[in-house]
Structure 1
């Protein structure tokens, strides 16, 4: 198993995976249901971040179990989706953004595998794998998709949408997009030494930038219009990827593994 896909809001099914089967993966942090299949001869594991029926809110997602399950299955490259609001007029609803940095505004989510020795401090200067980002952008442009390379994702706690004052603050801090799920997912993927990248789908303008309040239904509707494109992008990337990990992701923690549940991995 080499590739993993984490589907965010609106992306609950893997799409074109012939002969796909569902499997429960047992991890030290809980069970995770994944769909396993192959695409162009390459093994793929898909999991919906919020559950198959969007039943888990962003602050209750079991991020550690999700990432551990993918690592346990032998995944090395993870492609994630995220629905976001835009704080930057250059990033319009309907656009895809391959983000390259993050501001963590979450509050109480378990954010590391290393809760008991050894003490590990990962380098997080490149939260999203540059190798995978480059490949995704090139693939998207070859497919004729409107994509931006680079953007700062502000991860809010949720599940409520942000206030106008919060959005104004995030913009002053340098944020371009706001969502609720990229952290601690990106950090955990780095600790697990996975190549991880997120493609954001801009569904709306953030609070204070639109004429009316936002509803979750509007986000879902905007997502539905982009789901086919994101699946096409991910599978095209997987088909053409050479799986040569010439980045630093595979040695992010020097091969160390967390002590918690080490025997189950």
Structure 2
């Protein structure tokens, strides 16, 4: 099983078969669904748990990514619900992430704890797999999904939303969208030599930006934006996984770790 999708609950009406699995890792137990589509096994992992009961700052990111590695996964697509800091990316838009800024505070961020006496670093010059990003954009055209553009993602600790002053600062730093889950997920995948690409589904304007007069972010606003695009995004992921030949020769994802 070389291919996986991380995000919310999978869209199972595209699958011929669904099998639930529990994977034991040194960081904890992870539940996944393995779906078979056109003879291709694809792993679905619900980032916040099957019942969406784990807040972003408590997600066991290391267990999740290690479980995928133990299953043999090499290629990961992920979804991320995000707020927009970019006037060109209104709610309801879909963007492909190209870089990130990390403002998390208390999460385990790495597998590399020096337990074996070796110091390791990981290259972040191109964190999101260029190969998977390009293939998603091409497949999205075939699926009828509009990708508004590329975006720099700023990750905050959560679970609270950001203040207007924080959003202003992030915007000055070059961020386009804001969320609470992509770090350390992207970093951990890179450490294990996996190709990882993420798609942002924009649910709302970030605090204090443009639509401040419309009031605070509502649950209805978030869920409606996600539902509009989730199925097309997942179907685009599956289109790449079932129609494209994937390799790690057209990216540096498998060779990003530097040992000192």
TM class by shorter chain equals over 0.9
- Structure 2: stretches of 5+ with no match in the other structure: none
Q: What TM-score comes out, normalization by structure 1 length?
A: 0.92
Q: Distance in 2 between matches of 1:80 and 1:224?
A: 16
Q: Distance in 1 between matches of 2:162 and 2:232?
A: 27
1:14–1:67 CA distance, 2 compared to 1 (3 A): farther
The answer to whether the Cα contact below 8 Å between 1:193 and 1:252 also exists between their aligned partners in 2 is yes
1:252 maps onto 2:252 in alignment: no
Write out aligned runs for 1:116-265 (5 A). Answer: 116=114, 117-209=117-209, 210=211, 211=213, 212-246=215-249, 247-253=251-257
1:69-118 residue CA offsets vs partner (Å, 9 max, x unmatched): 00000000000000000000111111110110000010010000011232
Name the SS of the counterpart of 1:99 in structure 2. Answer: strand
Write out aligned runs for 1:63-142 (5 A). Answer: 63-116=61-114, 117-142=117-142
The answer to whether the Cα contact below 8 Å between 2:145 and 2:233 also exists between their aligned partners in 1 is no
Could you list the structure 1 runs, at least 4 aligned residues long, displaced by more than 6 angstroms after superposition: none
Q: Which has the higher strand share?
A: 2
Name the SS of the counterpart of 2:257 in structure 1. Answer: coil
The answer to whether the Cα contact below 8 Å between 2:11 and 2:231 also exists between their aligned partners in 1 is no
Partner of 2:36: 38
Q: Distance in 2 between matches of 1:223 and 1:100?
A: 20
The answer to whether the Cα contact below 8 Å between 1:167 and 1:207 also exists between their aligned partners in 2 is yes
Aligned-pair distance for 1:215? 2.4
Give the number of aligned pairs: 252
- Structure 1: stretches of 5+ with no match in the other structure: 257-265
Partner of 1:52: 50
Q: What TM-score comes out, normalization by structure 2 length?
A: 0.93
* The 10-residue stretch of structure 1 (206-215 or 152-161) with the greater mean CA deviation from structure 2: 206-215
1:123-147 residue CA offsets vs partner (Å, 9 max, x unmatched): 0111100010000011112222110
